[in-house]
């Protein structure tokens, strides 16, 4: 990787990591009253910064004439749609598991909902134990 690009990537990744650290900071009970807004804002800030990082690298790859289909494959362009429409049914199933709530019969019929609900239940059980430093 050319040095100027490497330094730009390092700067952007450090910025994203700082945003991720703030997400963690706002989860602490004694820090933020407005945790919902701040955790989502900082998480999407981190995501946006990582998107900028990927686009910077992609622009360099175009600059050196990388094939467009290879670039699209590396960028995993299909994943960008995931966040655009907000939480999906499987995300709500995961939250239900985290909150110790059962899924409706209809929701349980969808395999992806079951696969997201069960880990949420396990995480909820683990959250009852003392957290290690």
Same domain, 110 and 55: no
Query: Does residue 47 lie in a domain region?
Result: yes
Same domain, 21 and 66: yes
Domain that holds residue 9: 1-85
Query: Does residue 133 lie in a domain region?
Result: no
Same domain, 74 and 21: yes
Same domain, 93 and 62: no
pLDDT along the chain (133 residues), means of 10: 93 97 91 87 95 94 92 83 74 87 87 87 83 68
Torsion of CA 98, 88, 40, 52, to 10 degrees: 130
CB crowding 8-20: b at 16 or more within 10 Å, else e: bbeebeebbeebb
- Residue 13 confidence (pLDDT): 98
């Amino acid at each position: 990787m050319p040095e100027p690009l490497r330094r730009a990537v390092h700067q952007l990744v450090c910025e994203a990591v700082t945003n991720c650290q703030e997400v963690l900071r706002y989860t602490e009970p004694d820090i933020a009253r407005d945790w919902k807004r701040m955790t989502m804002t900082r998480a999407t800030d981190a995501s946006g910064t990582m998107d900028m990082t990927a686009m910077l690298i992609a622009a360099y790859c175009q600059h050196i004439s990388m094939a467009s289909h290879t670039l699209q494959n590396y960028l995993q362009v299909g994943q960008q749609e995931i966040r655009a429409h907000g939480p999906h049914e499987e995300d709500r199933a995961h939250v239900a598991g985290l909150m110790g709530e059962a899924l409706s019969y209809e929701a349980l019929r969808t395999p992806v909902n079951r696969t997201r609900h069960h880990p949420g239940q396990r995480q909820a059980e683990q959250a009852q134990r003392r957290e290690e430093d």
